[in-house]
């Protein structure tokens, strides 16, 4: 087993897949409002990816996952399954996670949405989890170690009295959805694999309001906090460049 280093050509294809994934999140924003079901959001994303983008929804059928997107509301950490029975209400926070395949290459990204008007503690975990991702992205460059990335995320989250989910992590990505290396969102500085130009992976910290523990629901997919407190997550697909990184899944409201 080894870690793939991408060619210029590979990176060009991942750039396209990443942009498409980002555009799904931009497109769906207008539909995320009180009263909508997560099934409806899923249907809109499926149509957009398959018909408009002429791309493939990577989650659909992946290890048996039944839908196009993951919709993870409030205490759901990740992998929530869209359903007609899940109707968004004002004050909810929801992560929508989209992965598309274009020309054989994957783009994987997620962001939090606030439904209607959120309470301050919900807005706070949404913003701080985003900052966790951004702080990790900021330090990516050749020679930096995976433990450094984890450490930056962990230190910032814990300084705000949040905890880091340890049961799930980021991942190498390319022609495979999930490949080596694992990207842990906690860690010890100057430990682990050193980054090299041409590596492509996701960073996707899951930050809990309470304790880090998670439990898998009976549906075999939905992951929730054990203590029932809120969880929030943001994800980008990136490539290590000669002097930093490129964020393939950047949205137009982001500048890296």
Q: Note the residues at the interface with ligand MF3 (CB under 6 A).
A: 59, 62-63, 65, 70, 79, 97, 99, 108, 202, 204, 221, 235
Q: Which is nearer to ligand MF3, 118 or 201 (CB)?
A: 201
Residue 249 binds which entry of Co ion, ligand MF3, none, with Cβ cut-offs from 5 to 8 Å by kind? none
CB 209 within 8 A of CB 174: no
Q: How far is the CB of 95 from ligand MF3 (least distance, A)?
A: 10
H helical segments located in the chain: 8-28, 38-47, 120-139, 146-159
Q: How far is the CB of 110 from Co ion (least distance, A)?
A: 5
For residue 179, state whether it binds Co ion (rule: CB under 5 A): no
Distance from C-alpha of 227 to C-alpha of 215, rounded to nearest angstrom: 10
Q: How far is the CB of 190 from ligand MF3 (least distance, A)?
A: 27
**Which residues, 191 to 210, sit near Co ion by CB under 5 A?**
202
CB 151 within 8 A of CB 136: no
Q: Which is nearer to Co ion, 11 or 98 (CB)?
A: 98
Q: Which is nearer to Co ion, 180 or 227 (CB)?
A: 180
CB 166 within 8 A of CB 186: yes
CB 86 within 8 A of CB 39: yes
Distance from C-alpha of 4 to C-alpha of 209, rounded to nearest angstrom: 35
Q: Which residues pair with 105 in a beta bridge?
A: 102
For residue 71, state whether it binds Co ion (rule: CB under 5 A): no
CB 155 within 8 A of CB 147: no
The kind and range of the H/E element at 243 are none
Q: Which is nearer to ligand MF3, 53 or 99 (CB)?
A: 99
Nearest to 200 by CA among 107, 135, 111: 107
Residue 153 binds which entry of ligand MF3, Co ion, none, with Cβ cut-offs from 5 to 8 Å by kind? none
Q: How far is the CB of 117 from Co ion (least distance, A)?
A: 27
Q: Which is nearer to ligand MF3, 81 or 144 (CB)?
A: 81
Kindly list the residues in this chain that would bind Co ion in the complex (CB under 5 A).
Answer: 97, 108, 202, 235
């Amino acid at each position: 087993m080894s870690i793939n280093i991408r060619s210029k050509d590979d990176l060009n294809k991942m750039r396209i897949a990443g942009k498409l994934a980002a555009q799904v999140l931009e497109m769906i924003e207008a539909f995320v409002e009180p009263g909508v079901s997560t099934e409806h959001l899923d249907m809109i994303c499926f149509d957009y990816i398959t018909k408009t983008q002429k791309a493939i929804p990577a989650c659909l059928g992946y290890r048996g996952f039944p839908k196009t997107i993951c919709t993870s509301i409030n205490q759901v950490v990740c992998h929530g399954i869209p359903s007609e029975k899940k109707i968004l209400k004002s004050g909810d926070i929801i992560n929508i996670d989209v992965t598309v395949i274009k020309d054989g290459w994957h783009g994987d990204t997620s962001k939090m949405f606030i439904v209607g008007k959120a309470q301050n503690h919900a807005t706070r975990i949404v913003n701080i989890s985003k900052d966790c991702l951004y702080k990790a992205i900021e330090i990516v460059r050749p020679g930096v170690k995976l433990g450094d990335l984890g450490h930056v995320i962990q230190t910032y989250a814990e300084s705000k009295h949040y905890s880091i989910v340890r049961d799930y992590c980021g991942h190498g990505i390319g022609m495979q959805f999930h490949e080596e290396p694992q990207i842990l969102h906690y860690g010890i500085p100057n430990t682990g694999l050193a980054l090299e130009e041409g590596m492509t992976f996701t960073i996707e910290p899951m930050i809990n309001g309470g304790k880090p523990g998670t439990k898998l629901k009976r549906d075999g997919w939905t992951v929730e906090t054990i203590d029932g407190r809120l969880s929030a997550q943001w994800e980008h697909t990136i490539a290590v460049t000669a002097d930093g990184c490129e964020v393939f899944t950047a949205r137009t409201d982001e500048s890296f």
